[in-house]
Amino acid sequence: MNSNLHSVKDILKYTFGLVPIVAGLDKFTNILVDWSQYVSEGFASMLPFEPSAFMMIVGVIEVIAGILVLTKTRIGAYVVSVWLVSIAITLLLSWNYVDVAVRDLVMAIAAFSLAKLSENKSKAASN
């Protein structure tokens, strides 16, 4: 892999590794934002617990996904990509935070690109 591609891969790896970890940990503190506001009223009414507890579960998943990107980049990047698409679909279905949904779709494309870059590196190493 040439040095430019390697640099791009590293930037994406650390971005999609660290950002989910930070966002996941923030689900417990709400320093960056009150995350429970992103849970639609309809969905919140179906939960057997408070939206804040749901967001803590989401936070654990995000921390695990970030660690996965840092340790097993290809698999982790696919997981983060699917996770971001899922979040975007949820936001679009409630028609709340459409701007965040669009941003998450763009980030999902970047995470998918990281997975593909990592896949190419794995294939090259096996040849």
- Predicted model pTM: 0.82
122 is a domain residue: no
88 is a domain residue: yes
Cβ–Cβ under 8 Å, residues 66 and 16: yes
Sign of CA dihedral 120, 80, 109, 16: negative
124 is a domain residue: no
- Enumerate residue ranges in the chain where pLDDT < 70: 1, 120-127
125 is a domain residue: no
Confidence (pLDDT) at 3: 84
28 is a domain residue: yes
Which region, left, alpha or beta, applies to residue 40 given φ > 0 means left and ψ of -120 to 50 means alpha?
beta
26 is a domain residue: yes
81 is a domain residue: yes
Total tally of structural domains belonging to the chain: 1
126 is a domain residue: no
For the stretch 21-42, pLDDT in tens is: 999 999 999 999 888 888 888 8
For the stretch 89-103, pLDDT in tens is: 988 988 888 999 999
Domain that holds residue 92: 3-116
